[in-house]
Amino acid sequence: MPELPEVEVVRAGLAPAVSHARVLAVEVRDERALTRHALDGADFERALTGRTIAGTARRGKFLWLPLSPMPPATSPVDAVVGHLGMSGQILLREAGAPAERHERIRLDVEHPAHGVLAVVFADQRTFGSLAIDALVPTPDGAAGGFGMDAATVPHQAAHIARDPLDPAFPEAPFRARLARSGSAIKRVLLDQSVVSGIGNIYADEALWSARIHPETPARALPARAVTRLLAEVRAVLERALAEGGTSFDAQYVNVNGQAGYFAHSLNAYGRTGEPCARCGRPIVRVSFMNRSSHFCAHCQKARGL
């Protein structure tokens, strides 16, 4: 499933092509791609056609395109919200380009500098979605997400915590939450109401880098271990961003259809049986929350269990 690095790569790729572009036409080819939209495909098409996209923003795995306001409003009050689910793709194509495989929704937009382009939402497994959603104020008054300065966030993403790369990430409350929690640290890292965007792959990688066993109770971590973990989470996410995200198959691609290559830099996730890059012992895999955890049993000692 695409996580913070993959969604941020898509957001950054969209930004120069759609910011200040006017939506000329909208075609909903499969209404299963509108599961988060309040009404039907005809409403989505009608509400979006003719609007101007003010920019691009992201929080965790949600990205959104704020829409320029309709008078008398002076700032965006709603946005197109996208969630990629397990296999969603947002692609930029030339105007009139043939339909993509698994294409669900297409927007034709006209950009002042780039002319007419097609923005295609394709999704093989149909767990992803687009929607038009109201923007609501952020409780802390800080920017709602990466890419925009406005202190607003889509209503359906308002419950999502800030991510560790967000300048407004509330580090002190995060530390306090860990100190109170008896849950496994990996479970806490995957809780989107506590911290967003990390995901299974990056949790395994950060815990390996920080030498922390994934089932260690969060409250058993001393302050210095939490400091080390946060540093490694940020480092892993930044490296993944620099390498275009993680692609194991053709499901995750950027807006140009290109795969990320961070999979070649992984130290734990997907390395079952391979030697640990630190100690040479084999990486092990265990079941965790209907998924899997990958770690080095020698380097990542279990404590407080």
- pLDDT 10s digits, 211-227: 999 999 999 999 999 99
What's the pTM?
Answer: 0.90
Q: Is 102 annotated among the ligand-binding residues? A: yes
| In the chain, % of residues over pLDDT 70 | 92
Let me know: does 192 contact 162? Beta carbons within 8 Å. Answer: no
Whole-number Cα distances in Å, 5 to 44, 62, 239: 28, 12, 9
Neighbours of 27 (CB within 10 A): 15
| Residue 237 φ/ψ, nearest 5 degrees | -65, -40
For 145, residues 6+ apart whose C-beta sits below 8 A from its C-beta are 57, 58, 59, 62, 64, 153, 166
Alpha-carbon Rg for the chain in angstroms: 20
Average pLDDT value over all residues in the chain: 91
CATH topology (fold) of 171-296: Helicase, Ruva Protein; domain 3 (1.10.8)
Q: What is the pLDDT of residue 304?
A: 62
In the chain, what are the domain boundaries?
4-157, 171-296
Per-residue exposure over 273-296, b if at least 16 CB sit within 10 Å of its own CB, e if not: eeebeeeeeebbbeebeeeebbbb
The SS3 call for residue 58 is strand
Element (H, E) at 221: none
| Catalytic sites, residue numbers | 2-3, 61, 291
Residue in 295, 141, 291, 147 with CA at minimum distance from that of residue 213: 295
pLDDT in tens, 168-207: 999 999 999 999 999 999 999 999 999 999 989 999 999 9
| Domain 4-157 top-level CATH class | alpha beta
Q: Is 46 annotated among the ligand-binding residues? A: no
Neighbours of 239 (CB within 10 A): 14
pLDDT in tens, 281-291: 999 999 988 78
